[in-house]
Amino acid sequence: MSRRPELMSPPEMFYDATEAKKYTQGSRMIEIQSRLTKRAIALLNLPKTSVDHEGNPASPPCCILDIGCGSALSGECLEEAGHTWVGMDISPDMLHVAVNRGATATCGDVSHGDMGQGFPFRPGMFDGAISISALQWLFYPAKKCHNPHKRLMCFFQSLYAVLHRGSRAVLQFYPESPVQMEMAVRCATQCGFTGGLVVDYPNSTKAKKYYLTITAGTNHTYLAPKAELSEHEVTGSESKGGFSVNFESKRYQRKNKKRNGKRIAPKSKEWILNKKDRQRRQGKSVRRDTKFSGRKRKDKF
């Protein structure tokens, strides 16, 4: 049974010269990377670049941020779609392969940096962002000073700043548990994003893919993208099909909670259990629940 790469070593050490060369020369890896990138571009829902009667582009192409670009396999797909791109990766060897392949010769450029420390670009620079198989690295601390929750918050805050208001980001990742999914969604909402989690092929173990599709700011015209389904899932019942999980801002959730009239008494057992569960989703160390959790102490005389 193969282990997850995130558990072996930090990304800048795992993707060394040998692994970078293997990553680019493997036909299966190239096919998977291309398919995931094309799916992410489709979820971005970017305006198509129009051309005039002479064949020249009449509208400027979109500028896309490629997070964890690696050897620029996804950048080539962005160029085929008619967009310019700027990639960022933490592995110098992967970026070196991208430059040697000539992937940055026409419509792309790459930069070295850690996405957990933010993006060194001016505000509102990009019309969209994609990330293929990179976000899950933030859940695993590579150093003692790394805190997954703080690095996720820095990531989404910086991503929100470099995107145009109303532009979309599609982040494909491999969560190890529902806790990691909830942590990513919670950090995104706290930083001002709206959108949803799209799951393709939910009934398949190997083909299942997660796409965090988020919009910078409130988008009143947002429609949840449809998930891809296999032939068996299309002919099956609706409950077995792919699904999109939408989430709203905290302010919207509080309004709905007030409308429902549900109020939990402070310091009650339910209040304490909800708070401990919330802290667990944030990645904090919390004591386990027992029969004494939330039990009222006896009055002292």
Q: What is the pLDDT of residue 158?
A: 95
Positive/negative CA dihedral, 272, 275, 281, 287: negative
Whole-number pLDDT of residue 270: 86
Q: Can you give 74-142 as a three-state secondary structure string?
A: HHHHHHHCCCEEEEEECCHHHHHHHHHCCCCCCCEEEEECCHHHCCCCCCCCEEEEEEECCHHHHHCCC
Q: Confidence band (pLDDT; 50, 70, 90) for 251?
A: low
Mean local confidence (pLDDT), 11-15? 83
Q: What is the dihedral of CA 183, 239, 130, 152, to 10 degrees?
A: 0
Kindly tell me if the per-residue pLDDT of 292 is higher than 60: yes
CB contact set of 77 (below 8 Å; sequence gap of 6+):
34, 37, 38, 41
pLDDT value at residue 238 = 37
Which pLDDT does position 254 carry in this prediction? 57
Segment 82-105 shows an average pLDDT of 87
d(CA 62, CA 49): 8
Instruction: Write the CA distances from 113 to 82, 92, 96, 290, integer angstroms.
Output: 26, 9, 14, 44
Q: Tokens 């944030």 sit at which residue? A: 282
Q: How confident is the model at residue 63 (pLDDT cuts 50, 70, 90)?
A: very high
Domains within the chain, CATH numbers bracketed: 5-49+59-257 (3.40.50.150), 264-301 (no CATH)
Find the length of the chain: 301
User: Residue 82's pLDDT is what?
Assistant: 87
Does the structure show a pLDDT above 60 at 172?
yes
pTM for this model (two decimals): 0.71
Query: Does residue 91 register a pLDDT over 70?
Result: yes
Window from 101-105, 185-189, 246-250 with minimum mean pLDDT = 246-250
pLDDT band at 233 (very low <50, low <70, confident <90, very high): low
205: pLDDT strictly greater than 90: no
pLDDT band at 295 (very low <50, low <70, confident <90, very high): confident
pLDDT of 119 reads 94
The model's pLDDT over 99-130, given as tens digits with 9 standing for 90+, comes to 888 877 678 889 999 999 999 999 999 999 99
Task: Give the C-alpha separation, 200 to 24, whole Å.
Answer: 25
- What's the mean pLDDT in 12-23? 82
Lowest mean pLDDT among 2-16, 58-72, 183-197: 2-16
CA distances from 251 to 194, 221, 256 (A): 12, 19, 9
Write down the mean pLDDT value for the chain: 81
Residue 181 predicted with pLDDT over 80? yes
pLDDT band at residue 240 using 50, 70 and 90 as cut-offs: very low
Does the structure show a pLDDT above 50 at 195? yes
Averaged pLDDT for residues 171-175: 93
Q: What is the pLDDT of residue 237?
A: 37
Please measure the distance between the N-terminal and C-terminal CA atoms of the chain and give it in whole angstroms: 61
pLDDT at 235: 43
